[in-house]
Structure 1
Amino acid sequence: MNSPRISRPLTLAACTASMVVALAACGSATDTAKAAGTCPSVAPASATPQWTLPGTTGSVAVTGSTDTTAPVVTVTPPFSVSQTQVHVLQAGDGPVVAPTATASVCYVGVNGRDGSVFDSSYQRGTPADFPLNGVVAGFQKAIVGQKVGSTVAVAMTSADGYPDGQPAAGIQPGDSLVFAIKILGAN
């Protein structure tokens, strides 16, 4: 049988080129998947609030996140509320989040007393997964019943947050808290 003979260096070059193309394609898919599992950390160039709330004291203005920007929570301190309030900044179109779900979210938590950020998955750039039966009541109230893909804000009373405070996070007893949350998934 006569078969064409290709030089060994040419075969090696062709195989190497094929491997580089295959790895590049895999890298692109991996990068795309990785980007979908991140929380943007860049603030928007301009932030027109989607929700403003005068509190019992102070006020808060919240702009939700986008696919490329983090949310902005601006507090006029001291901000407090007498009742927890949830506002949908952008409705999602995924399944409804059940009370027993584990939710994957990007979020920022702000202390109403002084406007300081006490926790932020946006700053870390990575979503957090929480079983909803293991988070503070105000966080549950914000997420349960929403659709995956939604962005919500919640201004919560101390009773729905940390009534006894959370010293490690700089939260004192009586502090109202504000969260901006993007719901990425739930199971």
Structure 2
Amino acid sequence: MFLAASASLALMAGACSSDADSSSPATSTPSASASASTGATAPSTCPTAEPDAAATPDWTLDGDTGSIAVVGSTDTAAPAVTVEAPFSVAETQVETLAEGDGPVVAADAEVSVCYMGVNGRTGETFDSSFDRGAPVEFPLTGVVGGFQKAIAGQTVGSTVAVAATAADGYPSGQPQAGIEPGDSLIFAISILSAS
């Protein structure tokens, strides 16, 4: 359960998380389905299968140090983030891997997503709802800046990736998740619904 516990720490932007719902790692409080305003039912699971080993990356990025290659998630497979560590960026960069056809996500929306977070310094995954097989719901106003920048303005159904600066992640670090001050973070995210 370390991953579930660390997820609250890894995504929340200083807000207090609820001890009552440790299985919803990025939420500060449990919420109703976020799909109400989209008219669609959000999937209740995240794909857990490994991506095709021969898949061509959807996004490659040379950082100020190191590089990354991201293969986005599909309906049946989790994403993959390969890091030439240590990876760091001086400016947060967002890439749409696959554009959805749903409504645009507002900056203050509550969203349901499947995601994985990778530490650029180590190349290690520090959290993944794909590993747990379950999406999480949370308000975008309650997560780290890089995560919010990746999702706000995208369309529901999109798959996105972000390489976030330490300032848009945890400038002071997050020891419980193995994040040190100055670490750049990479997220691969599938946006399931928004309200």
- TM-score over 0.5 (shorter chain): yes
With structure 2 as the length reference, what TM-score do the two structures score? 0.77
Residue matched to 2:44? 37
In the aligned structure 2, how far is the partner of 1:105 from the partner of 1:169?
Answer: 20
Name the one with the larger helix percent. Answer: 1
**1:88 match:** 96
Please say which structure displays the higher CA radius of gyration: 1
Between Structure 1 and Structure 2, how many residues are aligned? 154
Identify unmatched segments of 5+ residues in structure 2: 1-40
Q: Deviations over 1:26-82 (max 9, x none)?
A: xxxxxxxx9931101111223210100000000000010000000010000000000
**C-alpha contact (below 8 Å) 2:72/2:188 kept by paired residues:** yes
Relative to structure 1, is the Cα distance of residues 105 and 35 closer, same or farther in structure 2, using a 3 angstrom cutoff? closer
Letter in 1 for 2:76: T
Q: Unaligned regions of 5+ residues in structure 1, if any? A: 1-33
Match of 1:27 in 2: none
Task: Give the Cα–Cα distance (whole angstroms) in 2 for the partners of residues 103 and 87 of structure 1.
Answer: 18
Aligned to 2:114: 106
- Tell me which residue corresponds to 2:72: 64
- Counterpart of 1:47 in structure 2 is 55
Local SS of the residue matching 1:61 = strand
In 2: Cα distance, 1:124 partner to 1:41 partner: 8
State the 1:100 CA deviation.
1.0
The DSSP-based 3-state class of the residue aligned with 2:149 is: helix
8 Å Cα contact 2:42/2:112 also seen in 1 = no
Helix, strand or coil at the partner of 1:68: coil
Q: What CA distance in whole angstroms lies between the structure 2 residues aligned with 1:167 and 1:47?
A: 33
Sequence identity (%): 68
Q: Counterparts in 2 of 1:162-177, with a 5 A limit?
A: 162-177=170-185
Greater RCO, 1 or 2 (C-alpha within 8 Å, sep 6+)? 2
Taking only aligned residues, the RMSD between alpha carbons, in angstroms, comes to 1.2
